[in-house]
């Protein structure tokens, strides 16, 4: 969750900064791409505890495609159709996309393997000692 918060704040800070020199949709695209690179490394090291690789680096943007589409459309609709302030509209648009992005990123970075920290291997497999005793 902390990685998601850091990534969202990074995106939003970059978005506000870039918006001073570019139209809001261009600022959104540039901020999104820059934040996505940081997000890749934060997610590999901290969220999913995997090693970065070129393969996952190139797959990771696919996991953010859903986020990009949802936030871009949401931003556009909130600004153009609901008259929301460009600086504020990015927040609800991003919040809607976060859970979807997490699930897709998890699949991209772990290959669909779930890390189950609570599973006890002794419960799922017979113990080698017990097997020999049979």
Question: Residue 53 has what pLDDT?
Answer: 92
Instruction: Name the pTM for this structure.
Output: 0.72
Q: Residue by residue, what is the 3-state secondary structure of 5-61?
A: HHHHHHHHHHHHHHHCCCCHHHHHHHHHHHHHHHHHHHHHHHHCCCCCCHHHHHHHH
In which band, very low, low, confident or very high, does the pLDDT at 10 lie, cut at 50, 70 and 90? very high
Q: pLDDT, tens digit, for every residue of 67-122?
A: 899 999 999 999 999 999 999 999 999 888 878 777 877 787 787 665 554 444 44
Question: Residue 82 has what pLDDT?
Answer: 97
Judged against a pLDDT cut of 70, whether residue 124 lies above it is answered with no
Q: How many CB atoms lie within 10 A of CB 126?
A: 9
Average model confidence (pLDDT) for the chain? 83
Dihedral angle, C-alpha 95, 97, 103, 108, nearest 10 °:
-120
Query: Domain locations in the chain?
Result: 2-113
Q: How far is CA 125 from CA 112, 113, 114, in A?
A: 21, 18, 18
Question: Residue 114 has what pLDDT?
Answer: 58
> What's the rounded mean pLDDT across residues 25-50?
93
Structure tokens, 104: 């897709």
Which residue matches tokens 């393969």? 55
Question: Residue 37 has what pLDDT?
Answer: 94
Structure tokens, 25: 């949709």
**Radius of gyration for the alpha carbons in the chain, expressed in angstroms and rounded:** 20
């Amino acid at each position: 969750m902390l990685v998601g918060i850091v990534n969202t704040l990074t995106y939003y800070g970059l978005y506000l900064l870039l918006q001073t020199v570019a139209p809001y949709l261009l600022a959104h695209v540039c901020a999104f791409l820059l934040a996505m690179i940081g997000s890749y490394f934060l997610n590999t090291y901290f969220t999913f505890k995997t090693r970065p690789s070129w393969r996952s680096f190139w797959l990771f943007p696919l996991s953010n495609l859903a986020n990009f589409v949802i936030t871009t459309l949401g931003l556009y609709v909130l600004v153009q159709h609901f008259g929301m302030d460009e600086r504020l509209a990015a927040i609800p648009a991003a919040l809607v996309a976060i859970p979807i992005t997490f699930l897709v990123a998890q699949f991209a970075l772990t290959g669909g393997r779930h890390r189950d920290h609570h599973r006890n291997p002794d419960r799922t497999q017979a113990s080698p000692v017990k097997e020999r005793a049979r």
